[in-house]
A = this chain, B = another copy of it.
Amino acid sequence: MAGMDEFALIRMLTSAAGRPGEERAAETARGDGVRVGIGDDAAVVGVRPGMELVLTCDTMVEGVHFKAETMKPEDVGYKALASNVSDMAAMGAMPRYALVSISVPMQVSEGWLTLVYRGIYECADEYGVAIVGGDTTSSLSGFVISITLIGEAEAGRALLRSSAEQGDLVFVTGELGGSAAGLHWLLQHGIDASRIGESAALTAEVEELIHCHQRPVPEVELGRLLLKSGARIALNDVSDGLASEAWELAEASGVSLVLYEDKLPAAKALLHYAAEVGRNPLDWILYGGEDYRLVGTISRDRAEELSQLFAANGRALYVIGEVASGLPGVRLLSKNGGSTDIDKRGYNHFK
C-alpha cells in the first residue's frame, strides 16, 4: 500500500465500502452536523445546544487483540468501532463522529483494507456515526487501528463510575463470557472452520459464541434509557471482564461490591461449551472481556422502576449483587455460602 496518496486511499476505501457513486456523500455529509469531512486539515462538526462532548479512544493491534485466525477483516473494522461505541453507552451518551487512524503493513492488500472499512461503516451506519477523518501510515509489522469517537450527552448528566453508594444494587444488562468462549473455540479450530457447513464442530451454539467475539453489540439504547431515567447510576461497560469493571466501579466510588455467583447471567451456549471442553464457565464470566454489556449500580428504590423500563424495551436488568461499605474491592458469594475475594486482573486475549 506504500506510496498511495492518503486521501486517495481513504476515498477509495470509503467509496469501496459498499458506496459506489456516493463518494462525496461518504466524505462530507454522513450524519447531521458534519460541515467539513475527510479531505481538509481537520473536520468541522457541530454540537447541539445543551450538550457536552464525550470523548473516547480505543486501539486494536494485530497479534495482541486479534489474529487472522480469530477475526475476519470486516470483524476487525466493526469491532474497532464497536468497542468505542460501547464506551459511549457506558456514559449514557450518543455516538456521533469518529476518526480512524490505521497503520498498514506492506503485505496488506487493498482488498483486505476495503473489508476492514466495510466493517467500520457497517457499525457506523448501525449507530449513526459519521466517519469524519483519520490518518493512514505505514506499519513495520502488524496492522494497528486506533479509533477516536466523539459523542454527546446532556450537559452534566453523563453516567460516571463514581456514583455508587453503599446499599445500591449491582446490575448487568446481559449474559457474560460469550466472547471469551468464542475466542477459545476460534483459537482451537481457526476461523476457516467457523464458516457454516465446513466444520462438523460448528453448532448453532458455537456460532452464537463466535458471534459474541467477532460482532459485539454495544448497548447504546440501554445507556440512554439509564441516563434519561434521571436515577443516580454508576456505569461501566464490560470490555476487560466483569471482575475488572466491578473493581473500577468500586475504586471510583470508594465502595466494595459483593457479587452473587448464582445470579451471574450466562448463555446456555457458554455453559454447554464450557462443559464440553472441561473449563469452569465462571472464569469466562468473570475474566473474559469484550462482552460489551453494561455493568452498574442503582439505588434500591429505583431498581424496580428501571427493571420495568427495561422489560418494556424487551430487555432484562439482571441484579447480580450489592454495594457494601469498606475499602474498595470485589467479593463473590458462592452458591454454598462461601465468599472469595476477586482480584482485578483483566482480559488477555492470547494467554
Interface residues of A (CB under 8 A from B): 5, 35-36, 39-47, 49, 51-65, 87-88, 90-91, 93, 97, 99-101, 103, 132-135, 137-142, 144, 146, 148, 150-151, 153, 155-156, 158, 160-162, 235-237, 252, 344, 346
**Which B residue sits closest to A91, measured CB to CB?**
B42
Interface pair B56/A45, CB less than 8 Å apart: no
Q: Which residues of B contact A91 (CB under 8 A)?
A: 40-42, 44
Give, as a whole number of angstroms, the nearest-CB distance from A330 to chain B: 15
Interface pair A252/B101, CB less than 8 Å apart: no
Q: Which residues of B contact A63 (CB under 8 A)?
A: 140
> What is the CA–CA distance of A144 and B146 in the complex, to the nearest angstrom?
10
> What is the CA–CA distance of A57 and B55 in the complex, to the nearest angstrom?
13
Q: Which residues of B contact A161 (CB under 8 A)?
A: 39-41
> What is the CA–CA distance of A39 and B101 in the complex, to the nearest angstrom?
23
Q: When A and B form their complex, which 8 residue pairs have the shortest distance between CB atoms, in order from nearest?
A: A141-B141, A42-B56, A148-B148, A41-B90, A57-B99, A146-B146, A41-B87, A43-B55
Q: Which residues of B contact A235 (CB under 8 A)?
A: 41
> What is the CA–CA distance of A97 and B153 in the complex, to the nearest angstrom?
17
Interface pair A158/B55, CB less than 8 Å apart: no
**Which B residue sits closest to A136, measured CB to CB?**
B59
Give, as a whole number of angstroms, the nearest-CB distance from A168 to chain B: 18
**Which B residue sits closest to A346, measured CB to CB?**
B5
Partner of A43, one of B40, B56, B252: B56
Query: Known contacts A54-B42, A252-B39; is A59 also within 8 Å of B99 by CB?
Result: no
> What is the CA–CA distance of A103 and B153 in the complex, to the nearest angstrom?
29
Q: Which residues of B contact A58 (CB under 8 A)?
A: 101, 135
**Which B residue sits closest to A156, measured CB to CB?**
B35
**Which B residue sits closest to A49, measured CB to CB?**
B49
Interface pair B47/A43, CB less than 8 Å apart: no
Interface pair B133/A42, CB less than 8 Å apart: no
Query: Known contacts A41-B236, A42-B87, A160-B36; is A132 also within 8 Å of B344 by CB?
Result: no
Interface pair B148/A61, CB less than 8 Å apart: no
> What is the CA–CA distance of A134 and B149 in the complex, to the nearest angstrom?
11
Interface pair B150/A150, CB less than 8 Å apart: yes
Interface pair A150/B40, CB less than 8 Å apart: no
Interface pair A54/B43, CB less than 8 Å apart: yes
Interface pair A344/B101, CB less than 8 Å apart: no
Query: Known contacts A5-B344, A35-B52, A42-B151; is A57 also within 8 Å of B134 by CB?
Result: yes
Interface pair B153/A144, CB less than 8 Å apart: no
